[in-house]
Structure 1
Amino acid sequence: MPAQADFDSGLAAYHKQDFATALKEWQPLVDQGNPRALRNVGLMYLLGQGVKANPDKAIEFLQKAVDGNDPEAMRIMAQVYIDGRVPKLGQSLPMGTELLRRASSLGDTEAQYQLAKLLYRAENLQAAIPLLATAANNGHKAAALTLAQILEMGVGVKKDQAEADKYYAMAGGKPKDIKQK
C-alpha cells in the first residue's frame, strides 16, 4: 500500500513539525484526490504550517476533502464557518451546524461533541443529550463529563446520580471540588 505508506510518512513528519516533508509526502496523494491528504494540506494552509497561510487556498483543499466525505475536514470547515475566520466564506452558524451534523453522522466523536455543545447552548437539550451520550459511549471524555454534570444537576432532565456516576467513570472520574479562598 504505497499510498497509505506515503500518508503515514507524511503524518509522522507532520507530527514532528517537519512540514516540508509532510507536504512532499502528501502532494501526490492530493493530486490523486485523497480526502485525508487534502484535509491535512488544507489545514497546513489554514494555519500557515510550512507554507504561507492562505485561507482561500486552505478552503479549496478542505472543500475537496469534504466532498470526499472526510469527517475531520467537515469538522474543520464547520469551525471555519462558525468562527467566520475566512472572510471569503463569512460566518454561518447554519452551514457550520450542517457540516457538524454530517461529520457526526459519519461517526466523528469530536463532531458529535461540538454539535451537542452548539445544541446545548441553543437550549435544544433534547437533541444535545443523545449526541453527548453517543460521543461519550465512543470514548470522548469531555462529552462524558458534560453529560455527567447535566445528569447530576438535572439540567433539562431528571436528576440521575447513578447515570451521572457512569458517565463520570467514562470521563476518568469526577472533578475535584474547587476550593475557594
Structure 2
Amino acid sequence: MALSHLGLLVLAVAAWPAYAAAATVCDGQAAYDSGRFQDALKIWSQLAEQGDALAQFNLGLLYDIGAGVEANPTRAFAYYERAAAAGLPTAEFNVGVMYDSGRGIVHDASKAASWYSRAAARGHTRAAFNIGQLYETGDGVPQNLDVAEQWYGIASAVIPAADAKRRDLKRAINYSTSKRFAPPLAAYPVGTDAVLTPNRDVELVWLAPPEPSATRFFVELREMRGGNSNEVYSGYTDLTAIVVPLNDADRFAWRVYAVAEDGSHYSTSGWNRFTVTDDTKTRPAAMVPDHPSSRRGG
C-alpha cells in the first residue's frame, strides 16, 4: 500500500483546553522539554489513569518514539485511542495514521478514514488532506471525487499539495457533468460509537455515496425526550463529518440526506441513535447496516 498520504504522526505535545489539569500537565511538559523523560512518564502516567486526555496522548507519544521507555507502537496506539475517544484532534489523527499504516494495530482503511474524518471535523488540516486522498482513491471509503475536492479545500490553506490536488480534481470534475443529474444514492452514518467530549459535543461522520452522486449533505440531529422528538441541529454541508453541540438530553438520533445538486432529488439514511452516559461517553442504541465501501485494488 502506498503511504504517501499518511504524513508523520504528531510528535509534538498538543495544546488542550484548560479543563485538563494544566499545571500538572505542564510539569510533565517541562520535564519532557528538558529531556527528563522518566519524570514526564511518571507525571503523565498518573494523570492518564485519572482520565486526562492530554496526558494519555503525551504518554502515547513517549511509547511511540521510545522516549524514557522502550518503543512500543501497540501500547502507543492504546493511549492515543483513549485520548481520541475524548475528542482530542491530534490523538484522533494519530489513531487514523496507525490504522492507515498498520503500525501498532492491524491495518484498516475504513477505521483510518473514520478517525481522519473526526480529526478533520475538529480542524486538523493534515487529517482533512488524508481523508481527501482516501475519497480520491476509494481506499476505505467509496470513491467520490467531489467529496475529495471539498476535503482538499479545507486543507489547502495550510498544505500546498492539497491546493494543487483540489485544483486538479476540480478540472476533472468539470469535464464530467452527467452525474450532476443522477438521483443521489444514500449516504451512510458511520460510528455509532460517537463520543462526547467535556465540551458536550458529538462528532457525526458518514460515508459519502460513490460516484456518480451529489456533493451536498443535509444533517438532522434530534433529541429523544419523554416520548417526544425535538430538533437539536439541522444544516447543509459539503463535507462528510461535522461537530455538533449537544443539549442536556440523554438520548439522540441523527440521519443524513444526500441531496442532488439541483435540489430536485434526495436520499436519506436510516436514523442512527446514541445515548449519552453519565461518564461523558456515548454508547450506541441502534446500529445502521454496514455499507460495503469501494476499495482500491492492488
Structure 2 residue corresponding to 1:27, chosen from 34, 37, 45: 45
Where in structure 2 are the equivalents of 1:67-146 lying within 5 Å? 67-86=85-104, 89-122=105-138, 124-137=144-157, 140=158, 142=159, 144-146=160-162
One-letter amino acid matched to 1:14: Y
Per the TM alignment, residue 128 of structure 1 is displaced from its structure 2 partner at its CA by 1.5
The corresponding residue for 2:244 is none
Contact 2:57 2:83 (C-alpha < 8 Å) held by counterparts: yes
Give CA-to-partner distance per residue, 1:64-122, whole Å, 9 cap, x none.
Answer: 11211111111111111111112xx3111111111111111122222112212222343
Q: Which secondary structure does the structure 2 equivalent of 1:156 belong to?
A: helix
For 1:169, the equivalent position in structure 2 comes to: none
Partner of 1:167: none
Structure-2 separation of matches of 1:18 and 1:118: 39
- For structure 1, the residue ranges without an aligned partner over 5 or more in a row are 160-181
Q: Which amino acid aligns with 1:51?
A: V
State the 1:158 CA deviation: 4.8
Q: Which has the higher contact order (CA 8 A, sep 6+)?
A: 2
The worse-fitting range, judged by mean Cα deviation, of 51-60 and 33-42 is 51-60
The Cα offsets for residues 117-148 of structure 1, whole Å up to 9 and x where unpaired, read as: 222343632112211222234xx2x2x44314
Identity %: 28
Q: What is the one-letter code of the residue matched to 2:86?
A: G
Matched, 1:9 2:46: no
Give the length in aligned residue pairs: 153
User: Which structure's residues are more often helix, by fraction?
Assistant: 1
The answer on 1:63 being equivalent to 2:63 is no
Query: Quick one: distance in 2 between partners of 1:156 and 1:70?
Result: 35
1:155: how far off?
4.4
- Which residue does the alignment assign to 2:63? 45
Normalising by structure 2, what TM-score? 0.45
- When residues 150 and 102 of structure 1 are mapped into structure 2, their CA distance, relative to the original with a 3 A threshold, is closer
Structure 1 distance, partners of 2:145, 2:107, is 24
Q: Say if 1:82 and 1:145 are closer, same or farther in 2 by CA, change over 3 A.
A: closer
CA separation of 1:53 and 1:128: change in aligned 2, threshold 3 A: same
The one-letter code matched in structure 2 to 1:26 is W
Q: Deviations over 1:20-43 (max 9, x none)?
A: 232233233212211111011112
**SS where residue 172 of structure 2 aligns?**
coil
Kindly tell me: are residues 51 and 145 of structure 1, through their superposed partners in 2, closer, same or farther at Cα, counting changes over 3 Å? same
More strand by share: 2
CA 1:111 to 1:21, structure 2 compared with 1: closer, same or farther past 3 Å? same
TM-score (norm 1): 0.71
